[in-house]
Structure formats: structure tokens, C-alpha cells
Amino acid sequence: MIDGLSRFDDPDPRESIPGYVDLYELFTSPPYEEVWIASHLVPQGRMIALVGPAKSGKSLLALNCAAAIASGRHFLGKPTIQSTVLYIDQENIPLLDIKPRLENMGYQWEDLEEHLIYSSYGDFADFNTAKGANQLMDVIREHEVQVVIIDTISRVVAGKENDNDTWNDLHKHLERHLKDEGISLLRIDHTGKDTDKGPRGGSAKLGDVDMTLMMTPGANKTFRLYVENSRMMVNWTKAEIQLIEKPILDFTIREVHKETYEERLQRLITLLDDNGISSNLTVQETRQELKKLGEGASNDMVSAVTKKRKTSRTTSPREERRLHTA
């Protein structure tokens, strides 16, 4: 052996570098496949943001998801992987809100006691501080929690929502540790007054989540769920969720194929026409009518809808029928 040459089995000095990744092990590992603890909402070891306007059904859907995971029942018509769930609720009162909802979903305490840990207005320190993050991680480790649901994320952090440091600190103190330990996190968040602009807060707020899901209410107890952005491979982009109240409160889901620009344009025009909305509206008035019907759209799309309706007809089909029979 020649002096000064390292043997292959000698320790690699680079292993002392914090976070060092062995490229050989990385490239020879089998492809990663997403494991879904609960369909559409909770992939294993991932961070998901569920975002929507107030009273849009986010908490109800998340509670239904948490109970299904804890009990091992189906969620959105598909099997779950039974896991221990920590639900941190800073929005709802257990006796007034949570108990009736769970009973309507067909659950009793025996179904949930083993795997659902419910924290209502818990006196945690803020999760974007070392103290609060350590408190939460201690609970997770002690009780072998696999899924954390926070309702809502803005109520468990210190600092202004528009300050990126608020969310960078959340990642630094808490979320990176959840990732390291393979804990799933579902963060519930509210949009501002303009739903098209997404959740309130700075750009870093969603910078670390793996997928952002937008949820908006529709007609007849339906909700629209769509992927706003994702660094994960998902095989769907938009879905319609239907709330069913009998025999028990539950949700069904129907995935919708991704619309082209022209398909969306025509669908919004048809939606306004079928609801008897005048075609002689301004862009702002068109936007307001679409929002009443549960449809948000970009400025360009609303402008295109307004222009095409004005140039194609002066009255809607319902208005034409009314005028014809008058």
C-alpha cells in the first residue's frame, strides 16, 4: 500500500459536516413514494396548509379528518392509516362546537380516546419560539403523535403576520424538527378579504409547506378544494367536496380535471348566465357576482369574462326567456 492514500473503508471526513448527505446512499436509494395517512389532506411526514375564507368549512373538514385517522375509519371515501393525532384548536369550544360535530359524525369517546389528543385553547408558548416549539415536541414524543393539526396557525405564533421573520422563526424552531422526525402537519389558515391573494401574511408564510390547498364554499353544501402550489407529486389539482348530513355527517369528494384557460373562461360565463346575472356589468361587479357563487378568479380572467359576455350578448338566457314571455 502506498503511504498517504486513504482506503475506501476509512471514515469520510465530510461526515462531520452538519446535515451532510451521502450522495452514494442518496442515488442508490429506491424512489420515494408518498404515503397518505388521510387522502388529499395528510401525507406522511409532510406539511400542508389548508387555506380559505372564514366559515368556509375548513375546521369541519379537518375535524372529520382527525377523527377518521384516530379511529381508523375512511376519510373522503378512502382508507386511512390509523395514527395518533394531536389537534390544537384555538378556534372552537369543545362543549358547544366539537362534541356536537363529532356526535353528528357518528363518534363516541370510546372511538377516539386512544388516538385523538384534543387541546382546546392550550396555554402553549408561541410555536415560533424555542420554548413553545420544545413544549410541543415534548408532547409529540411523549405520546408518539404522528399527525399534528393546528387550527389556526396565526393564533399560535408571536409577531406580525406580514413579517417574514414570524414564519422563518416557526420553521427554525418547530417545523424543521417535525420534518426531521417524520411528523405530518396540517396548518389551517384564513385568507384576507381578497381570496385571490391567498392567506394573510408575508411571503415566507407558505415558503416551507409542501402543499397549499385552497378551500372555498360553493352552493348546496359543496366546497371547492384545489392545489394552489405544491413541491410534491400529486395526481389531482381540483376537487369538489360534498357535505352529507344524514345518516351521519360526512364528506364525499369528486376530483375534477385541470381546466384549460378557455374551459375555465367558458365555465364562468355559463355559471353567470345560468344564474341570471346581467352581462352588462363592470369588471368589479362581475368579480363580486362570481364570489357570491363561490368562484374566485384572477384579474385577467374576470376581465376576459366581462368582455366576452358583453360582446357575445346583451342579456343572459334567463333574461331573454323572461323578456320573451313577458
Q: Does residue 159 come out as left (phi exceeding 0), alpha (psi in the -120 to 50 range) or beta?
A: left
Closest to 68 measured CA to CA, from 37, 99, 90, 103: 37
Q: What is the pTM of this model?
A: 0.75
Largest CA distance in the chain: 103
The total of other beta-carbon atoms located within 10 Å of residue 93's CB is 11
pLDDT in the model for residue 17: 94
- What is the tens place of the pLDDT at every residue in 172-228? 999 999 999 999 999 999 886 555 555 666 677 888 899 999 999 988 899 999 999
Q: What is the mean pLDDT of the chain?
A: 89
Residues 190/51, Cβ–Cβ less than 8 Å: yes
What does the block give as the cell for 98? 366539537
Rounded distance between C-alpha atoms, residue 60 and residue 228, angstroms: 20
Instruction: Please list, in sequence order, all residues whose beta carbon lies within 8 angstroms of the beta carbon of residue 16, skipping any fewer than 6 positions away.
Output: none
Query: Helix, strand, coil proportions of the chain in percent (round to 5)?
Result: 40, 20, 40
Residue 263, SS3?
Answer: helix
Residue 27, SS3?
Answer: helix
* CATH code reported for the domain at 36-256: 3.40.50.300
Q: What is the mean pLDDT of each run of 10 residues along the chain (326 residues)?
A: 55 89 93 94 97 91 98 97 98 95 97 97 96 98 98 94 93 96 96 62 81 92 92 88 95 83 88 91 92 82 92 59 50
pLDDT in the model for residue 7: 55
pLDDT in the model for residue 263: 83
Q: How far apart are the first and last CA of the chain?
A: 103
pLDDT in the model for residue 239: 94
Looking at the DSSP bridge assignments, the partners of residue 242 are 222, 252
Q: Phi/psi of residue 130, each to 5°? A: -60, -40
Residue the block writes with cell 357570491: 292
Q: Looking at residue 78, what DSSP letter applies?
A: B
Domain ranges for the chain, please list them: 36-256, 261-321
Q: How many residues does the chain have?
A: 326
Strand boundaries in 145-221, DSSP class E: 147-151, 184-190, 211-217
Element (H, E) at 168: helix 164-170
